[in-house]
Structure 1
């Protein structure tokens, strides 16, 4: 039987003036061993989600500042980072992504460090990273700035997720650090399609494609020859009408296994540390331009060197909570009595599969000792 990993926990209580929540997070991280990482003069990536404009459940910038300040106090050079999205929204290219982050409060003045969108302007600045033991992914497509960092820190808003079942540490890293092509590979077989009603026949996709995958009918509208397509997703970035999209049709279990394999590509071979904040537990991803009512009450903050144990501890803490009245768990037809709030919010998902596969890959262990501070 594998040895237990240590997961450190603190609640959100601050009953006196002596310590505020950002200070409590810093104390939690230091107690968990953060100070043992050599950060002197090192580039430190802090991977987080800046929130889609219109969403109010994402982590406040104050949390990012607490982590960035702690990195700087140990001689590191932090930057906040994420990769561009596949879907049409406020974060589909680096300019819109940074603007959305600023609108949501993430500026160098509020967080104490800069933002780098890891996969570049159009989402195609990536590094092919081998996945040792990968069953579905042999080379993960990871945003270059993430891989250029010397130290990697994940700062996760723990929540539900409509496809993965759980938006935890592994999801934040695996899906979040994938370039646009990497995200497409995780969501499906890696081939886009054209929404015919939106296509105007401008042939921008033909000009950007090095493999001749876009083909055109008598009406001048594009289609994708999947035999020629290599899944680079450059056509998604170049289309002026957002007529090219990803097929998000991967089975939930396979999606979660790919997320675990992408996570392994990111964290292997360098110092990593992971923080998850279990609050504003929305049923869906922060990629939504809105957020539904939380499904459970705020729990606390968790930190660990082991991302698998961290996710398991957070999931256990959420599942142990009673469902909040007024949430999706009380909508007609939703079974909030199944004993698993995450599963009840999205019955067709399989969040446990991600942790099982991550453990199999050697990313960590689901067995943990919870140490409260």
Structure 2
């Protein structure tokens, strides 16, 4: 049975400070696994502009201090988004991170966008699973010696639950990797009105599947296309659009296969911290933040990605639902809050599939810090 550490939000004096207990929990996750001078990728979500539910920098500071105390070299990281927003490329992403307080002196760690300037810096990792033979993991995350995943637990319109599995599977993928998770076999279809003939898609296509016609518009040689979605990344006018065609079940399975590629390549040098605070119906990628579904609960930590997400879901679902929230019916303890707000997304799929792939176990014991 996996151990899941639990930090409650109750505190009566400085010795029981939530921040200090989060720091102690972090050290428990690192001790015996972190080596001196290890480069530690602290995978966080910096939050989209207009959103305020992301994990507060002061908590991340104490996590980084725990890493530094044990001799590690921490950097904060995330990957560029598939959709167009304020985290679509490294320039805008860094500015958003700084805007939300993830910079010196608030947090003593540099910020590195893991998949590069435009989201095309990745390493192919072999997995040989149902949906993917290889997955595209952001380079800085793949090359880090240790991965500490720090997640704000919330709902998600397609995955149902946004926990550590999603933060690793989707959050550690390059932009083209995200596209392959969201869409069935991807074949670009350039919008001729939006295309400006800049040739970026042509230059960056690794399979010579794109060209400009006599009118200077992008066209596709379908027989050459390898569905890598690199053209989506480089198109400046969104003439080559994103495909969102995956079902919730398929998306979650593909997300788990990406998580498998990230975690198995780390050989045990990985830990997970889930914040059960400001638990909103929607992801921190939304440019807004809705009222919490349940009261704030606490912070969980584990070496087991399945157990920490299962425990997170259990604690949320066993809590009383708040009346002034997005909940429709599941206000009683024991009712499924995530299913209530996103009935089309069966969140248990990701946990069951991760368990089936050997990433962890659903049975756990809570150990209070």
Asked if Structure 1 and Structure 2 have the same fold, meaning a TM-score greater than 0.5 normalized by the shorter chain, the answer is yes
Which residue is 1:10 aligned to? 7
TM-score, length basis structure 1: 0.92
How does 1:334-345 map onto structure 2 within 5 Å?
A: 339-345=335-341
Structure 2 unaligned blocks of 5 or more:
none
CA gap of 1:104–1:224, structure 2 versus 1, over 3 A, is farther
How does 1:202-221 map onto structure 2 within 5 Å?
A: 202-214=198-210, 221=217
| Equivalent-residue separation in structure 2 for 1:64 and 1:251 (angstroms) | 34
Q: Is the 8 A contact 2:8 2:18 kept in 1?
A: no
Is residue 101 from structure 1 mapped to residue 94 from structure 2 by the alignment? no
Once the two structures are superposed, what CA deviation does each residue of 1:217-261 show, in whole Å capped at 9, x if it has no partner?
786544545443223333223222233222111011111111111
How does 1:165-176 map onto structure 2 within 5 Å?
A: 165-176=160-171
Q: Is the 8 A contact 1:193 1:247 kept in 2?
A: no
| Equivalent-residue separation in structure 2 for 1:361 and 1:111 (angstroms) | 35
Is residue 28 from structure 1 mapped to residue 28 from structure 2 by the alignment? no
| Equivalent-residue separation in structure 1 for 2:185 and 2:73 (angstroms) | 35
- Give the 3-state SS of the residue equivalent to 2:348 in structure 1: helix
| Equivalent-residue separation in structure 1 for 2:325 and 2:351 (angstroms) | 26
How does 1:177-188 map onto structure 2 within 5 Å?
A: 177-188=172-183
- Tell me which of 340, 347, 351 is aligned to 2:347: 351
| Equivalent-residue separation in structure 1 for 2:330 and 2:209 (angstroms) | 45
- Tell me which of 159, 166, 169 is aligned to 1:164: 159
| Equivalent-residue separation in structure 2 for 1:358 and 1:316 (angstroms) | 17
- Give the 3-state SS of the residue equivalent to 2:250 in structure 1: helix
- Tell me which of 222, 245, 252 is aligned to 2:248: 252
Identify which range, 248-257 or 236-245, moves more after superposition.
236-245
CA gap of 1:122–1:231, structure 2 versus 1, over 3 A, is farther
Is residue 69 from structure 1 mapped to residue 65 from structure 2 by the alignment? yes
Q: How far apart are residue 189 of structure 1 and its match?
A: 2.4
Which residue is 2:133 aligned to? 138
How does 1:185-334 map onto structure 2 within 5 Å?
A: 185-191=180-186, 192-214=188-210, 221-268=217-264, 269-330=267-328
| Equivalent-residue separation in structure 2 for 1:225 and 1:104 (angstroms) | 43
Q: CA RMSD in A?
A: 2.0
Which residue is 1:363 aligned to? 359
| Equivalent-residue separation in structure 2 for 1:194 and 1:324 (angstroms) | 45
CA gap of 1:280–1:208, structure 2 versus 1, over 3 A, is same
| Equivalent-residue separation in structure 2 for 1:196 and 1:325 (angstroms) | 48
Q: Is the 8 A contact 1:156 1:172 kept in 2?
A: yes
| Equivalent-residue separation in structure 2 for 1:194 and 1:7 (angstroms) | 48
Q: Is the 8 A contact 1:44 1:150 kept in 2?
A: yes
Q: How far apart are residue 79 of structure 1 and its match?
A: 0.6
- Tell me which of 133, 146, 149 is aligned to 2:144: 149
Q: Is the 8 A contact 1:277 1:300 kept in 2?
A: yes
| Equivalent-residue separation in structure 2 for 1:57 and 1:296 (angstroms) | 14
Equivalent residues, number: 365
TM-score, length basis structure 2: 0.93
CA gap of 1:313–1:198, structure 2 versus 1, over 3 A, is same
